[in-house]
Structure formats: structure tokens, C-alpha cells
Amino acid sequence: MRAMAVWPERKETGMVEHPEPALASPLAVLVRMLEVGVCGTDAEICSFLYGVPAEGSEYLIPGHEALGEVEEVGAGVSRFKPGDLVVPSVRRPCPHPDCPACRSGQQDFCVTGDYTERGIKAAHGFLTERVVEEEEYLFRVPDALREVGVLTEPLTVAEKALRQYLAAQRRLPWTGDLDDAALLAGTRAVVLGAGPVGILGCMLLLHRGCRVWVYSRSRKPNPKAALVESVGAEYVSSEEVPFAEFAAGIGGVDLVYEATGASALAFEVLGHLGLNGVLVLTGVPPGGRRADLPTDDLMKRMVLGNQLLLGTVNANAADFEAAIRDLEGFFGAWPEAVRGIITGRHPLADFCACANDGEGIKEIIAVERAS
């Protein structure tokens, strides 16, 4: 069957004929791949900066943001049937019996680093015609989300970030009797970046009751700003308003959801976080950049302001389930905006070209499309 492949050692990419998968256990599911999203990690893989071939292979099949349709199920599978739409998770647990995270299904907190990730690290991804996956790593998507279900995995980044924020804010003594909705109501949330992870995070925070501003580089008017404002958030350009001025103008910042990978911006913003505020980092910088920081001032503000800085990576089953529920809510409330995140659908062979094209918001590979 056809697959996109990356050879990290040879620094080559191209199409390959890959063996057809077969059910290898009673809990295995054969999935026909429909669509795969393209993201910044994929750009690094196509540029040979990232990515580890699958075990026993010289190449890696990339692609980790996927939507597929069940074709066949093993004898022990109870949650799926042929025809169901599904999304797979990305990270698989490490083999170590003493890893408390992986042994409890929380491999996004793996303590050994020996996890694998489909399409990224030591396991083939989803840019191929069919894959076999274990039932526990698949999540049912309603048929009504066929058009946008491929956005589930990038939304899980925001879901986990929000889950971590809520857990962190339970430290505040007055939150004990509040449910999540009450805790979030009126929260002044700033999203850094208007890429797909930022826009989906913006939608999630709005959907959960926050007041949301998206702080991004491009001046208005631009398509991303229009999309953000169409759902009720405000868009602010960093080229027009310095962050210090912006933060003062809104009366303080309770939550910053960083979705840029721009480390200098993130630490600039940290200096303007509000009392009891939290800055959640999700972007992974390319590396090598340095900045001169007012470290005494940053440390003083964090201590005196009871502030938190935390990083979050990947997601787990709870985040996938929440993402599917929330995506259904977004699509009901803002159908055109959710559709607008997807700016193009392309054939399998165009994957690396799409990965290196920064013009759109979210480019999608339609796996069965010939051209």
C-alpha cells in the first residue's frame, strides 16, 4: 500500500510501498486512513531535524493528527464496529514496569523517556492507506464531525493545558467548592499565537466561559484575526501593541496559553502575568536562541504574585474524549469558523510541501486523494 516515508539518515523523503497491516491481536482494529493534519512537528521531520524511524525500519511514516474509518475489528473488540469514524492517540507507553505514568495509562507524563509516538518517534504514523491500532488507543468520532474530526488531536493540546491549569488553580483557597465552570467564569485568558493550536485553544477557552484575547504577530486585517473575532474573541497584533501595554489595558492576565514556540515572547509575557496567574507553555522552540532576561524582576514577580509557569506535552485518553465533545460543541456554535481552520486538502505525495508552507492555518492530507 502507498505511504509517505522519511529517511532521517539519508535525508530523503518520498512515497513508498509499505506492507499491508493485519490484525495481530483480538483487541486490534484495522483502520482506513481518511485525513491527516500537517503541523510544525511534521515540518521538522521533513527537514530531518526530528523524527526516529520505526523499530526495524530505515524510514518513518510520519503523520500523527489523524482521522480514519474502521474496516475490521478483532474478536475481542467491543467499542468499535466497521464504519465507525475514529481518531488515534499519538503516544504509546514505555515498557518499564516501574514507570508510574505509563503503567496507569498516563504516558504523556512518562518518567523514563522510552515511550514511542506514532509518526514521530520509533513508530510509524498515519500517512498511509491503512493502519492497525489497539482498541485502547482509538476514540470514536460522531459522524457529524466527519468534515472536521481531523482537528481532534491538535485540540487535545489545549485540552490538556486547560486541565493542568484547572488543577493548578485548585491551590487557591477559595476554589474548593467551585466546579470548573465557576472557576473559569470571567477568567482573562490570553492565547499567544494564531496558528491552529492557538485558534483551537481560543475556541476552547471561550467555550468554557473565559474572556479571550489572541495575541499574535500579524497586523489586522488578516484571515486568522477575522476567524478569531468571528467566534467572539479579540485579536491583538504584537506589531501594533506591546504586551505590557496590552496587559495593562485589559486589567491583568489570569491565564496565558502559549502556542507559538517563541521563547523570547513567552518570557517577555511572563513579566506581565497577573496575581495568581499561570503561564502554560505548549510550543517547542527550534533551539539555539538566547535572550537577555531581567531574571531578578521575573523571580520577584513570580514569588510575590503566587504565579506559576508550567509546561505541558502530548495528551491522554481523557483529553481526546474531551476534545471530541468540545469539537462537537464548537462545530455546533461556530460551524464556518471551525471549517475555516482547515485551509486546504492535498494528496499524500504533497505532505512535505504542505509541512513547509506557512501560508494557511491547517493543511490536511486527504490520504486517498490521487492529485
Q: What is the band of 371 on the pLDDT scale with cuts at 50, 70, 90?
A: low
Buried b (16+ CB within 10 A) or exposed e, 119-145: bbbbbbbbbbebbbbebebbbebeeeb
Cα atoms found within 13 Å of the Cα of residue 42, Cβ hemisphere only: 31
Residue 321 lies in a domain: no
Residue 109 lies in a domain: yes
Same domain (yes/no): 159, 307? yes
Same domain (yes/no): 91, 213? no
Same domain (yes/no): 137, 162? no
Number of H helices, E strands in the chain: 12, 18
Same domain (yes/no): 111, 161? no
Handedness of CA 106, 110, 116, 117 (dihedral sign): positive
Same domain (yes/no): 169, 124? no
Same domain (yes/no): 214, 134? no
Range of the domain at 80: 2-141+342-366
**CA 12/CA 369 separation, integer angstroms:** 23
Same domain (yes/no): 118, 200? no
Domain CATH code at residue 48? 3.90.180.10
Same domain (yes/no): 122, 165? no
**CA 76/CA 309 separation, integer angstroms:** 44
Could you say which of 266, 292, 311 is where a domain stops? Answer: 311
Same domain (yes/no): 243, 347? no
Q: Is it true that the peptide bond before 26 is cis, omega within 30 degrees of 0?
A: no
**CA 87/CA 68 separation, integer angstroms:** 6
**CA 258/CA 180 separation, integer angstroms:** 21
Task: Identify the pLDDT of residue 152.
Answer: 99
Same domain (yes/no): 221, 351? no
Percent of the chain with pLDDT over 70: 99
List Cα–Cα distances, 159 to 146, 150, 207, 265, in angstroms: 20, 15, 12, 22
Q: How far is CA 353 from the centre of its chain?
A: 21
Domain CATH code at residue 249? 3.40.50.720
Residue 326 lies in a domain: no
Take residue 283 and report the three cell numbers written for it: 510550543
Residue 204 lies in a domain: yes
| Strand partners of residue 117 | 91, 122
Residue 150 lies in a domain: no
What pLDDT digit, counting tens, does each position of 89-117 carry?
Answer: 999 999 999 999 999 999 999 999 999 99
What pLDDT digit, counting tens, does each position of 172-219 carry?
Answer: 999 999 999 999 999 999 999 999 999 999 999 999 999 999 999 999
Polymer length in residues for the chain: 371
What pLDDT digit, counting tens, does each position of 4-27 carry?
Answer: 999 999 999 999 999 999 999 999
Same domain (yes/no): 358, 294? no
Report the candidate in 317, 283, 278, 298 with the shortest Cα–Cα distance to residue 164. 278
**Structural domain count, the chain:** 2
Residue 318 lies in a domain: no
Same domain (yes/no): 133, 165? no
Residue 172 lies in a domain: yes
Is the separation of the CB atoms in 39 and 24 below 8 Å? no
Residue 334 lies in a domain: no
What pLDDT digit, counting tens, does each position of 295-352 carry?
Answer: 999 999 999 999 999 999 999 999 999 999 999 999 999 999 999 999 999 999 999 9
Distant-in-sequence, close-in-space partners of 337: CB < 8 Å, separation ≥ 6: 203, 227, 230, 231, 330
**DSSP states along 245-270:** HHHHHTT--SEEEE-S--HHHHHHHH
What pLDDT digit, counting tens, does each position of 228-282 carry?
Answer: 999 999 999 999 999 999 999 999 999 999 999 999 999 999 999 999 999 999 9
Task: Identify the pLDDT of residue 101.
Answer: 99
Could you say which of 311, 334, 355 is where a domain stops? Answer: 311
What pLDDT digit, counting tens, does each position of 41-65 carry?
Answer: 999 999 999 999 999 999 999 999 9
> For 193, left (φ over 0), alpha (ψ -120 to 50), or beta?
left
SS3 at position 115: coil
